[in-house]
Amino acid sequence: MPDNTETSVMDQIFDRALEQNPHAAELLKAFRPVITMQRQLTESLALPALDYSVIDRDRLRAGVPFIRQISLFSPDDPLERIALSLAGAIREGMPKLTEEMDRLSALISGRKLRLTDYFAARSGKESRATQQRINDLALSPSNASFLWSLTARVLLERRSREAAEALGPFDWEKGYCPVCGEFPSIALIEEEGGKRFLHCSSCGRSWRFTRVVCPCCEKEAQKEMDYFYVEGKTQESAFVCDRCKKYLVTLYRAGRLLARDMDVSAISLVHLDMILQDKGYEPMAVCAWNIFG
């Protein structure tokens, strides 16, 4: 495992988030061990090498993300190790899921539930077979999917970094992620220059995107787009589009002095999620922390 540098940075980020966002304390405490473990695994794991030279820049320019050009999962990925580590973190942060995580861990350790079947093809016959296996074992599909998505994030973030290093700068003008094709969970606007960066919670990738276009429906019509603010919270807002009825929580940043984790920032803005969903809007990306009954 890595040294304590990454852990201490995450501790600082979560401590500051808890101090500044007491309304989100319950969610922040629940996800603290999970996100911290994800970041540790992302930094420390040795993964099999992939050949990123197959990624075509022209296809990227046309809006075809990495995941549709190359398999970002390998049969030799340490899936069991990642999933078991994250199951332990879930038990710590979300005690109510302990029994379900214990069952999943036992099945994974006993090779009765093969994660390679799920990650080899996240659609089609193989993933349907895995879903049927989950049903046969009387597991909660939502809890199993939660663990799978957390595991995928670790692998996808590493693949994102490796691919970016191998490719260098490339053209991307879409509102969905260039790595995994998912829509963003949060945006960051630099106050100096006003540039908007979108962040994907599925793989950790951030990319620049114009402020005058909706990332979801690609509509460019100022009268149908706006930013929602809470009084007294000038650094926090939500981009809203009345054409597709989607919203995107957004932060404004004046400087780079403090370390930031965009997923922690997204959780900290959960009050905006609640307000906008109550107004009839839907998040651009569904995350474990932004959907309410």
Supply the pLDDT for residue 254: 62
Per-residue pLDDT reduced to its tens digit, 173-232 = 999 999 999 999 999 998 777 899 999 999 999 999 999 899 999 988 777 788 898 887
Residue 229 · residue 183 · CB < 8 Å: no
Q: In CATH terms, is domain 1-31+172-293 a member of 3.40.30.10?
A: no
Quick one: pLDDT at residue 2? 47
Q: Which residue in this structure is represented by tokens 């597991």?
A: 139
Residue 250 pairs with which residues in a beta bridge? 187, 237
* Nearest-angstrom CA–CA distance, 82 and 157: 13
pLDDT beyond 60 at 86: yes
Is the confidence at residue 124, as pLDDT, over 50?
Answer: no
Under a CB-based contact definition with an 8 Å cutoff, are residues 175 and 214 in contact?
Answer: yes
Closest CA to 146 of 289, 43, 284, 293: 289
pTM here is 0.90
* Nearest Cα residue to 181 out of 203, 164, 162: 203
Between residues 222 and 172, which one has the greater pLDDT? 172
**Any idea how long the chain is?**
293
Pinpoint the residues of the chain covered by CATH 3.90.1670.10: 1-31+172-293
The pLDDT confidence band at residue 1, using thresholds 50, 70 and 90, is very low
Q: Which residues of 47-60 are buried (b: 16+ CB within 10 A; e: fewer)?
A: beebebeebeeeeb
Mean pLDDT across the chain, nearest whole number? Answer: 89
